[in-house]
Amino acid sequence: MGNPQEKEVSRMIERTLVLVKPDGVQRGLIGSIISRFEQRGLKVVGMKMVWIDERFSKKHYAAHVGKKMYPMLEKFITSAPVVAMAVEGIHAVELVRKIVGSTEPKSAPIGTIRGDYAHVCYEYADLKQISVKNLVHASGNKEEADQEVGLWFSETELYEYESAHDRHVL
């Protein structure tokens, strides 16, 4: 049946979705953003650059489609390519959220991606009638992560391999 300890360890290994949004791509921050995750022992198991359309935006942001801010969000997310990554590691969903920082860049601590590279607040974005440019999207919880990774990646686009972190961090 398998070692119970190994099953518990296996349960802790999660996959989550990270998107480098159009502002991150256009500002040339892709490499800097990816390195934040790799430096903490997370493994990129899938990655691609995609220019999403309105139809796919509605699938990805299904929970927001009826909200007042959705048209601004859709306009922004479809304005330039995004880099989609499936990231894997111990409690990856929670760790990625810590690395990324608060959704509102103004509130994100220095040392997080949003805290180091962005500073816009909701109030400013609302006055300008634009989406908050916060560089990245990160799945909010395990269920959302599973759904989003499945939406963005087929099984053949996800890879299993051993990294140095598997030997030294995990």
**Would you name the residues annotated as active-site residues?**
137
Q: What is the DSSP string of 79-107?
A: SS-EEEEEEEEETHHHHHHHHH--SSGGG
Count Cβ neighbours within 10 Å for each residue of 2-33 and write b for 16 or more, e otherwise. eeeeeeeeeeeebbbbbbbbbbbbeeebbeeb
